[in-house]
Chains A and B, each alone.
Chain A
Amino acid sequence: MVNNASTLICFIPFLPLIAFAINIFFGKQLGEKSAWVTLACSTCSFVLAMLVIRPVLSGAVIQVNFDWIVFGSGALQFGFLADPLAAIMLFVVTCIGSLIVLYSIGYMHGDPRFSRFFAYLGLFLFSMLGLVLSTNLVQIYIFWELVGVCSYFLIGFWFEKDSAANAGKKAFITNRIGDVGFFIGIALLFYGAGTVNFTDLTHEYFHHHHQAILGIAGLFLFCGAIGKSAQFPLHVWLPDAMEGPTPVSALIHAATMVAAGVYLVARLFPLYEAFPHSASVVAVIGTTTACMGAFIALSANDIKKVLAYSTISQLGYMIAAIGIGAMSAGMFHLMTHAFFKALLFLGAGSVIHGTGTQDMREMGGLFKAMPKTAWTFLMATLAISGIPPFAGFWSKDEILTHAFLHHHPVVFGLLLAAAFLTAFYMFRLVFMTFFGKTRGHFHAHESPAVMTVPLMILAFFAIAAGFPGSPFMHHWFQAFVLPGEAVKANFGLMMLSSVVALSAIGCAYYCYIVKPEMPARITQAIKPLYQASLNKLWFDEIYGATVVRLFQWLAGTLFLFDQKIVDGAVNGSARVGLWISKIKNWIDQYIVDGAVNLVGAITRITSSILRLFQTGVIHHYLLVMFIGILMILYGITK
């Protein structure tokens, strides 16, 4: 069984790659059929993934390796590794990936670059699966960049729009900033620990090799996660990334790719466990992000922007969870979040598809027009808000419990506040979109079945995905991820978080249904805060004024420096050379050459006389020659 799985595991990432190749080369011929190629490949991957996960569930670890780089004495190996962590991600990626490919068939219908879209999806799935199955940090880094580039392509998919092109670039470059740190981290770990294989970087290993440099490496590695998972302060790319098609937002920027950062931190959990200072940095960043994202989401009016900030906030949750040591809870939340956030995005996509706008202020009252979308969306909203027994409740509660029980009061308090805000803005979204009166001018219609079926399947997961980690199944999930971790359910905390969520829903109901004029009054009352939220805490402006400006200034200045000074020196030395040669030339002409010229003048005068002999008539030459011969003959016989 295990042997079998180690063969199958190699096929999982490559099937979508085949889809990519087929679509990129034959996309024109395939037309709309290209979607089915990608769908078939991703579904096969899903089936294979299930076959591979089965032995993992029973405790096996599947690994295959081969040499990739050789240098001097050593070699870097690549391969595929399926352990519990990877298995969860594998499940999430292939399952959601297939559903979203299915959904995209409806959403992207009629797009001029239809096949290109599915090619990119195939490439993304390949990269993401490669990332998930990586055996070491170098391999993960490679696929890390690859998913980044897929994200770049897909954000900029409608590249005729300048905003889309800019957003893609911004995403890629922001990620690169994190990746530079990531790379330095890898290098530090490589030289500090001598290995980058996940299977070597165990808890025991760090117990024996407790060097400060490894802690620093942990911080640098976390930079990668900050970039990819849109954590503070590199979160700015994710809201802009919503310029991409909505299925892309769902797949890449909600469910899978952005979770890669969390996955990385979870992979390196032994490292952070061994270095509490690094872990606390992780926790602080995570908590900050969770609150900040939720705060900004409060005022966003674009339906996808709200979800984007919500994603940032939820990712902050997961990062914070791992930072405080609740790795299994973080992964649990990652899984549940993937399902309900994908559902939210797809629902939002369905709404956009049906109405043609993204602005919530124009929506309202869509419940009747789009019942399937509305119901599934509501499920997901309940899940994210943390209402029992939906999936989000169990995972979020798990994190809060851990924070509370392991004495992280600040983290606990902030996360609880974030949970309140989450429930509030999510229901604000629901109320503004689906309830009340329609404010815009359009005829909303329900999306086709190819889009609603994935919604329903995801809705099922949004409800059910929480149970494996709930007390009903004895926290099976946590035990699977991290065997031996003691997880206790705390009924009081469950009550507390439920009450917080419900009260937030109540507030939202009051503000947006009962008294629609309330929000305006509140914003008037706390204008500075509202402005801060509306302007996303001015992150873009600050970066624009500092980092971007600095780079532009440096580029311009260095170019000038290059032209004027470095090149100037070259040209200057040439000019000095010319100048010297001119002086020399003068001396030469009038002094040195004067003497020469005198000789020359004499020569010229003489020659102007002798020149007369040079008639050009051959006879004269011959005659002179003849006379010469005669003279020679006379000379030699004398």
Chain B
Amino acid sequence: MNFPILTWLVFLPLLGMLAVMLTPKQNEKLIKQIATVVSALLFLLSLKVLMAFNLHDGGIQLAEKVMWIPQLNVHYYLGIDGISLPMVVLTALLSLLACVASYGIKDRVKEYFALYLLLETGMLGTFLALDLFLFYVFWEVVLVPMYFLIGIWGGPRKEYAAIKFFLYTLAGSLFMLLGILAIYFTSTPQTFDMIALRQNNFAAGFQHIVFLALFLGFAIKVPIWPFHTWLPDAHVEAPTPISVILAGVLLKMGTYGFFRISYPILPEGAHWFAPWMGILAAIGIIYGGFVALAQTDFKKLVAYSSVSHMGFVLLGLASCSAMGMNGALLQMFSHGVLTGALFLLVGALYDRAHTRDLSAFGGLGAVMKVYAGILIFVSMGSLGLPGLSGFVAEFMILLGTFKIYPVITGLSCIGILLAACYMLYTVQRVLLGKVNPKWEKLTDMTGREIFTLAPLMIVTLAIGVYPILILKFMTPAITALVGLLS
């Protein structure tokens, strides 16, 4: 591979950040253009990766490996496989759309986009790193811009939300760091290389402890019940595009960690802990659904629905079966797309009405026709309507898990029911009923907003109708992973 495409993918936003920093801060238009162009290029690069990807290879592709810190045997090691590929494409897509959605940011535009581009680097780096050390570095790189993006451009309680997010995730990542160090010092030869570490057969007891440590780190990020409380606060306070990124990409980093680190390196630990993960997942699914039902704040509702939906991912992971894990990965993708779209919709509504209180709305279906159509479409996707991506993912997860944990899965099905309840209740409160005269003047979606939503809708419909489109990329890698587990 002459052209180090993955390196470009990771560091292109950093270049963009430099360019933004060198632009005078008065020239907001240019700054936005730079950020958009960089994000668009990133998306094109990710598509190029998609083209270059070999469908029949379940292993690492397009790898780039250079010695970085020889004393510690740390490598600069990037690579992609069927598990990270959907995440990379999702990240690039959402980054572009959220970037366009960020045009509404009014103050301190330069700092915003600089931090935003840094965030992109962190996210892509996390998904592409194959060296534990590098992974940890990128993982933490994500944290810092996120803290500022919530803390500066957020809502009324932004400081609280930002610091909660930061401290909570930092606490988690400390456990993760401990786990990583434990793996490093126990492995022979001592290495951070994730692929090489798969060959190490660690002792069972060791695997259990380290798995737990990593689990804590990832669980907080996902977030898994009961570590989820930073999520509603962060989501509610963050500006719309950041909510999109937060829900669409950051949450996936947690589950991605399971796919990439916990499962292949510590298979014994995975098998040992999987039932507990299943139980936590079921609790999260039902609990998130119920709590979402009680919300009156639109954004908070979506946030809790994320808890429920990410519970499905965890459930699929807990199954340790090909179908369940395929479904989990698909659910990660699908949830990223759908929740991203939902947050964009909430943001669009908030921009117009300046409130997110669901009980204040009603009858908007007659006022904002296009908005209504899109909201119904996305809600249907979110509640798992067949023909849209959410259904396929949840279906595969439940079907894959059913054989292993029939009772847990049966209970989790209540989550599907609850999803219908809270999504329809929301749609009813926002769109249906008599028009509140206060909102008669609301304008319909602008072209820019439709532009940010249309790709997400197309993707979710395409996957829902013909899932093989994306499954063909994921299946070989998942099969290989399941092979490692057994």
Query: Are the C-beta atoms of B428 and A169 separated by less than 8 Å?
Result: yes
Q: 8 Å CB contacts to B: which residues of A587-622? A: none
Q: Report how many A-B pairs have Cβ atoms within 8 Å.
A: 145
Query: Are the C-beta atoms of A72 and B482 separated by less than 8 Å?
Result: yes
Query: Are the C-beta atoms of B468 and A570 separated by less than 8 Å?
Result: no
Q: 8 Å CB contacts to B: which residues of A108-166? A: 138, 141-146, 149, 152-153, 156, 159-160, 162, 164-166
A566 interface residue (CB < 8 Å to B):
yes
Query: Are the C-beta atoms of B395 and A72 separated by less than 8 Å?
Result: no
B41 interface residue (CB < 8 Å to A):
no
* A159 with B294, Cβ < 8 A, contacts A172-B420, A183-B413 known: no
A200 interface residue (CB < 8 Å to B):
no
Contact with A along B314-327 (1 / 0, CB 8 A): 00000001110011
B358 interface residue (CB < 8 Å to A):
no
A70 interface residue (CB < 8 Å to B):
yes
Q: 8 Å CB contacts to A: which residues of B227-250? A: 228-230
Query: Are the C-beta atoms of A146 and B326 separated by less than 8 Å?
Result: no
- Chain B residues near A69 (CB-CB < 8 A): 392, 396, 467-468, 471
The binding surface of chain A is classed by DSSP as: helix
> How many Å lie between the Cα of A67 and that of B385 in the bound state?
20
Smallest Cβ distance from A385 to chain B, in angstroms? 38
Residues on A facing B (Cβ under 8 Å): 24, 67-74, 138, 141-146, 149, 152-153, 156, 159-160, 162, 164-166, 168-169, 172-173, 176-177, 179-180, 183-184, 186-188, 190-191, 551-552, 554-556, 558-559, 562, 566-567, 569-570, 574
Contact with A along B388-410 (1 / 0, CB 8 A): 00011001101110110010011
B115 interface residue (CB < 8 Å to A):
no
Query: Are the C-beta atoms of B475 and A72 separated by less than 8 Å?
Result: yes
Query: Are the C-beta atoms of B432 and A72 separated by less than 8 Å?
Result: no
Query: Are the C-beta atoms of B479 and A72 separated by less than 8 Å?
Result: yes
Query: Are the C-beta atoms of A142 and B387 separated by less than 8 Å?
Result: yes
* A176 with B420, Cβ < 8 A, contacts A184-B410, A187-B409, A555-B294 known: yes
- Chain A residues near B406 (CB-CB < 8 A): 187
Known: A162-B434, A555-B290. 4 other contacts (CB 8 A): A144-B386, A169-B428, A187-B406, A558-B287
B414 interface residue (CB < 8 Å to A):
yes
The one of A142, A191, A551 that contacts B403, using a Cβ cutoff of 8 Å: A191
Name B483's closest neighbour in chain A (CB-CB): A72
Query: Are the C-beta atoms of B230 and A570 separated by less than 8 Å?
Result: yes
Interface CB pairs A-B, < 8 A, 6: A69-B468, A72-B321, A72-B478, A177-B417, A558-B291, A574-B164
> How many Å lie between the Cα of A451 and that of B435 in the bound state?
32
> How many Å lie between the Cα of A153 and that of B373 in the bound state?
11
- Chain B residues near A176 (CB-CB < 8 A): 416-417, 420
> How many Å lie between the Cα of A153 and that of B424 in the bound state?
11
- Chain B residues near A145 (CB-CB < 8 A): 385-386, 391
Smallest Cβ distance from B21 to chain A, in angstroms? 34
Name the residue among A67, A74, A169 with the largest chain B CB count within 10 angstroms: A169
> How many Å lie between the Cα of A144 and that of B400 in the bound state?
21
Contact with A along B290-332 (1 / 0, CB 8 A): 1101110000000000000000000000000111001100000
- Chain A residues near B326 (CB-CB < 8 A): 71-72
Query: Are the C-beta atoms of B471 and A559 separated by less than 8 Å?
Result: no
- Chain B residues near A73 (CB-CB < 8 A): 322
Name A162's closest neighbour in chain B (CB-CB): B433
Name B363's closest neighbour in chain A (CB-CB): A160
B226 interface residue (CB < 8 Å to A):
yes
- Chain B residues near A188 (CB-CB < 8 A): 402
- Chain B residues near A555 (CB-CB < 8 A): 290-291, 293-294
The one of B294, B323, B413, B424 that contacts A71, using a Cβ cutoff of 8 Å: B323
Query: Are the C-beta atoms of A184 and B413 separated by less than 8 Å?
Result: yes
Name B366's closest neighbour in chain A (CB-CB): A160
Contact with A along B161-188 (1 / 0, CB 8 A): 0001001100000000000000000000
Contact with A along B259-286 (1 / 0, CB 8 A): 0000000000000000000000000000
Smallest Cβ distance from A214 to chain B, in angstroms? 14
B352 interface residue (CB < 8 Å to A):
no
B472 interface residue (CB < 8 Å to A):
yes
Query: Are the C-beta atoms of A165 and B432 separated by less than 8 Å?
Result: yes
Smallest Cβ distance from B169 to chain A, in angstroms? 12
The one of B402, B421, B432, B478 that contacts A159, using a Cβ cutoff of 8 Å: B432
